[in-house]
Structure formats: structure tokens, C-alpha cells
């Protein structure tokens, strides 16, 4: 039912194997709704991304954290996001969109506290961030929450046929999207430079392509980028309000008998494969390949 695919993830569970020092995979393993596997390909000199799966009889959680500017934020999410989800789910009596929003908010606040405490010794942490893709299966309900441009895609069998179709379950927060640019312009009507096309892409404040993330404090709180300590990292960035958001888009869906599998991946996969191409690979090779082969 579930396959998690992540680009250059920095930590793997026991049993993960490496193909050539730059590629990692795990074979199929059981979870409450079926089986899962994970894979990664290291594309950068330093691994900035993380992924994880938590499986129990009650629920399954999937996390893909595509870091940028360093690995601090993605590693933080790997250690702290699931505990926040589990704590709020226990407090609220089960999984819900509100539980997920509270968990994302708590993770953002906690990371901001870490940046504040480390500011004098490690000011560069203010420029570290991560996209965050979370999947949660509780009973027959699937929750998918996203910040940034990672993606979750469901493979669904067409009723009465031997064909699978792809269903995208995430909204991507990337300034390359006209819809995202309109959203940013509406939120910042007095800032003509909120989105700038530079270095071959649309970027928020001419710097970053994603419009939502965990971290990236220098684009959310002006006191950091305006501080003299930040001058060794980049120029001051005057802000009247946060340029980036940590409010996730959340999709909720009841799982149905014709829902076959899920693919969770950072943008590194989707830059090379369409939703349909990835779904067809898994659909046509349900047991002969792992997520590594995608």
C-alpha cells in the first residue's frame, strides 16, 4: 500500500543497503496498511535531506524532509516532528487536520528556539530550512500535509480494468507556480520584490524557490537578517512581514479498495519522472522492484 521514496536521505534503519556509496535502499517491510520501502540517491556533497517511516498497529507515519542551506532543519524534523504528531494525537483522541497543524506549528516554534539559542555561535542556522512532507494513515483515512515542493502521489487501479492512474495528493509551494506567485503578491501588496525572476527561476525575495518551509528564519523574522552578525552570510533583507510560511497544505482522503500504493518523494524524483511515470513503474513491478529502482 505504501512506498516512500526520498532523495539523499541522511539516515537509514538497520538493514538498509548501499549500491555504490551514493545510493541507498531498504527492501519491502510491513506496516499496518501493507508494505513500504525507501530509497535515496545522494546528489550533494553533504546530505541535507532526511526521510523516515513509523509503523504501528494503530497508524503509519511517513516523513520526507528536503533540507536546504544545511542539514540542521531536516535532521531536526526527523527527530521531532513525529513526537509532536503523536503527542497531539494522544491529547486530541486521534489523528486530525488540527493535530497535524499543531504538530507543524510546534516543530516550527521549537526550531526557531534552537536558532535563537545558537544565534551568537552559529548565525548561519538562521539561513537553514527544510521542506516538509508528512503522510499519516489512521484506520482507513489518509492525511497528507506539505510545506514546499515535495510530492505525494497515489496509484489507483481503474475500476474494471488492469490500468493504474496517478492522483496527486499535495499542493506544491514553489514560486515557479503562477498560483503561488499570485498568493505571495496578495499577501504582500506593498512589496514589489516579493517574487523575483533571477538565476533562471522565480524566487521569493530573489533568494529561495519555495514559499513555505520549516526554518529559514532570516526570511521570516527581520531581526535576524538585519543583525550585523548576518552580514557574513548575506545582505540585510528588510521585511514588513514573514516572506515564507510554515502553514501546511493538508489533504484528507478515505482509502478505497482500488487504492494500490503511495509514493512520497522530494522534488529530486519529480524533476525526472512525471506522476504517471512513477506510478506505472510501481504498478508494473509490484514485487520485483523496490523503491530503489524508481
C-alpha cell at 4: 516512500
Per-block mean pLDDT, blocks of 10 residues, the chain (294 long): 39 44 60 65 61 89 96 97 98 97 99 97 97 97 98 92 92 97 97 96 98 98 93 89 98 95 94 95 71 36
pLDDT of residue 87: 97
Q: What is the phi-psi region of residue 77: left when phi exceeds 0, alpha when psi lies from -120 to 50, beta otherwise?
A: alpha
Give the distance, in angstroms, between the CA of residue 45 and the centroid of all CA atoms in the same chain. Answer: 20
Which domain-ending residue is among 209, 232, 264? 209
Count CA atoms within 13 Å of residue 275 on its CB side: 16
pLDDT of residue 27: 67
pLDDT of residue 113: 98
Q: Rg for the chain (alpha carbons), in Å?
A: 19
Task: Let me know whether 168 and 42 are in one domain.
Answer: yes
Number of domains in the chain: 2
Task: Let me know whether 81 and 191 are in one domain.
Answer: no
**228 occurs within a structural domain:** no
Which domain-ending residue is among 184, 209, 234? 209
C-alpha cell at 231: 552580514
The CATH number of the domain where 44 resides is what? 3.60.40.10
Task: Let me know whether 50 and 159 are in one domain.
Answer: yes
Residue 184 in 3-state DSSP?
Answer: helix
Task: Let me know whether 43 and 131 are in one domain.
Answer: yes
- Report the b/e string of 98-131 with b at 16+ CB within 10 A: ebbebbbebbbeebbebbeeebeeebbbbbbbbb
Task: Let me know whether 92 and 133 are in one domain.
Answer: yes
For the four alpha carbons of 141, 152, 175 and 23, in that order, the dihedral sign comes to: positive
Q: Nearest-CA neighbor of 270 among 139, 104, 133?
A: 133
pLDDT of residue 23: 58
C-alpha cell at 26: 531498504
Task: Let me know whether 46 and 118 are in one domain.
Answer: yes
Task: Let me know whether 162 and 203 are in one domain.
Answer: no
**28 occurs within a structural domain:** yes
Rounded CA separation 93/109 (Å): 23
Task: Let me know whether 61 and 182 are in one domain.
Answer: no
**220 occurs within a structural domain:** no
**270 occurs within a structural domain:** yes
Domain with 255, as residue range(s), is 2-174+248-293
pLDDT in tens, 152-182: 999 999 877 788 999 999 999 999 999 999 9
Under a CB-based contact definition with an 8 Å cutoff, are residues 126 and 218 in contact?
Answer: yes
Cell 501493507 maps to which residue? 34
Q: Distance of CA 284 to CAs 1, 53, 277, 279, Å? A: 14, 24, 11, 9
Residue 218 in 3-state DSSP?
Answer: helix
Cell 515564507 maps to which residue? 244
Task: Let me know whether 92 and 202 are in one domain.
Answer: no
pLDDT of residue 49: 78
**229 occurs within a structural domain:** no
Under a CB-based contact definition with an 8 Å cutoff, are residues 181 and 175 in contact?
Answer: yes
The residues that bridge with 195 in the sheet, in sequence order, are 204
Under a CB-based contact definition with an 8 Å cutoff, are residues 266 and 6 in contact?
Answer: yes
Rounded CA separation 176/180 (Å): 8
pLDDT in tens, 204-218: 999 999 999 999 999
pLDDT of residue 232: 86
Task: Let me know whether 194 and 276 are in one domain.
Answer: no
**167 occurs within a structural domain:** yes
**240 occurs within a structural domain:** no
**235 occurs within a structural domain:** no
Task: Let me know whether 27 and 81 are in one domain.
Answer: yes
Task: Let me know whether 73 and 190 are in one domain.
Answer: no
Amino acid at each position: 500500500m505504501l512506498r516512500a521514496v526520498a532523495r539523499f536521505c541522511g539516515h537509514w534503519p538497520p538493514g538498509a543497503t548501499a549500491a555504490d556509496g551514493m545510493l541507498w535502499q531498504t527492501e519491502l517491510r510491513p506496516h499496518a496498511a501493507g508494505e513500504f520501502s525507501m530509497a535515496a540517491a545522494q546528489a550533494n556533497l553533504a546530505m541535507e535531506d532526511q526521510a523516515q517511516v513509523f509503523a504501528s498497529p494503530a497508524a503509519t507515519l511517513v516523513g520526507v524532509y528536503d533540507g536546504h542551506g544545511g542539514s540542521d532543519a531536516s535532521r531536526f524534523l526527523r527527530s521531532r516532528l513525529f513526537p509532536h504528531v503523536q503527542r497531539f494525537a494522544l491529547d486530541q483522541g486521534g489523528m486530525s487536520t488540527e493535530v497535524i497543524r499543531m504538530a507543524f506549528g510546534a516543530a516550527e516554534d521549537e526550531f526557531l528556539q534552537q536558532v535563537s539559542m545558537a544565534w551568537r555561535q552559529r548565525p548561519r542556522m538562521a539561513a537553514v530550512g527544510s521542506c516538509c512532507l508528512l503522510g499519516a494513515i489512521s484506520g482507513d483515512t489518509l492525511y497528507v500535509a506539505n510545506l514546499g515542493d515535495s510530492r505525494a502521489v497515489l496509484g489507483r487501479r481503474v475500476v474494471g480494468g488492469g490500468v493504474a492512474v496517478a492522483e496527486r495528493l499535495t499542493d506544491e509551494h514553489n514560486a515557479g507556480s503562477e498560483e503561488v506567485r499570485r498568493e505571495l503578491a496578495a499577501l504582500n501588496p506593498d512589496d514589489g520584490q516579493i517574487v523575483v525572476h533571477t538565476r533562471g527561476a522565480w524566487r521569493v525575495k530573489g533568494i529561495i524557490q519555495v514559499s513555505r518551509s520549516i526554518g529559514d528564519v532570516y526570511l521570516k523574522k527581520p531581526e535576524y537578517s538585519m543583525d550585523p552578525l548576518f552580514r557574513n552570510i548575506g545582505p540585510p533583507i528588510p521585511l514588513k512581514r514573514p516572506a515564507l510560511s510554515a502553514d501546511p497544505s493538508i489533504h484528507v482522503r478515505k482509502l478505497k479498495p482500488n487504492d494500490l500504493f503511495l509514493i512520497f518523494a522530494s522534488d529530486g524524483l519529480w524533476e525526472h519522472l512525471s506522476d504517471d511515470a512513477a506510478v506505472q513503474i510501481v504498478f508494473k513491478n509490484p514485487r520485483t522492484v523496490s523503491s530503489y529502482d524508481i
